[in-house]
């Protein structure tokens, strides 16, 4: 996959990658058309052969002939429509990749409860509550599941609420950089319930998919990229 890091020195390489992707798709389409697809001329040739070989005492009825010709026209129309959709998909992928390149260096909100903490900063997250709560509790855990800090956020109405952790433990000591997990819970009808948490991550680079129409984001602290379509919010510059 092509890597876009947002610097001027790689802009030419990025455009070359886009051009190469489009040329590859065009070549594959031409090869497929030449080897696997029947063109309208092939159908007409088959129809001519059918007419030449038919029994003169039992000729093909007019309605059967019209039905066959209509079928040929339908198949040809579907083939052309598929080609147009392929071209449209390629154009949309390229356009999305160009737009996504502006996200490099910015924070985006993704549906993942794990966040990457830098040495001199904390973590920001978002929790979505299905209804109002009397008391929202947030747990900050390390990668091993060890409790680091508990945040009492008090009563909250239903909807989305931002979570801010300063990156320090309960004694106010700064914690090292690394991955931390944010969990949110509260009492619903007298029972403890966990809620979906999304975290912010910094975009390192943009990745082009392998002709599948997907544009991927390489985020700081994550081994696997996220699809651009998964981004819930883009942070301020």
Distance CA(44)–CA(41), nearest Å, equals: 5
Is the model more confident about 168 or about 55?
168
**Residue 134 CB burial class (10 angstroms; 0-12, 13-18, ≥19):** exposed
- Per-residue pLDDT for 24 more than 60? yes
Share of residues in the chain with pLDDT > 70 (%): 55
| pLDDT (average), residues 62-87 | 64
φ, ψ dihedrals at 184, nearest 5°: -130, 140
CA distance 73 to 86: 20
Q: How many CA atoms lie within 13 A of 173 on its CB side?
A: 4
């Amino acid at each position: 996959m092509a890597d876009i890091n947002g610097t001027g020195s790689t802009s030419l390489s990025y455009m070359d990658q886009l051009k190469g992707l489009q040329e590859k798709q065009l070549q594959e389409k031409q090869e497929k058309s030449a080897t696997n697809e029947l063109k309208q001329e092939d159908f007409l040739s088959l129809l001519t052969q059918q007419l030449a070989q038919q029994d003169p005492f039992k000729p093909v009825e007019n309605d059967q002939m019209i039905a066959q010709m209509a079928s040929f026209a339908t198949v040809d129309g579907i083939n052309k429509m598929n080609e147009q959709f392929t071209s449209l998909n390629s154009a949309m992928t390229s356009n999305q990749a160009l737009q996504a390149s502006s996200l490099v260096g910015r924070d985006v909100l993704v549906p993942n409860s794990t966040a990457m903490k830098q040495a001199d900063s904390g973590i920001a997250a978002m929790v979505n509550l299905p209804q109002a709560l009397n008391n929202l509790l947030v747990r900050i855990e390390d990668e091993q599941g060890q409790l680091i800090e508990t945040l009492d956020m008090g009563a909250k109405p239903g909807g989305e609420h931002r979570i801010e952790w300063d990156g320090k433990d309960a004694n106010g000591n700064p914690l090292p950089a690394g991955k931390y997990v944010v969990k949110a819970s509260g009492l619903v009808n007298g029972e403890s319930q966990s809620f979906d948490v999304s975290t912010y991550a910094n975009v390192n680079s943009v990745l082009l998919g392998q002709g599948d129409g997907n544009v991927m984001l390489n985020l700081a602290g994550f081994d696997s990229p996220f699809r651009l379509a998964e981004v819930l919010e883009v942070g301020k510059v």
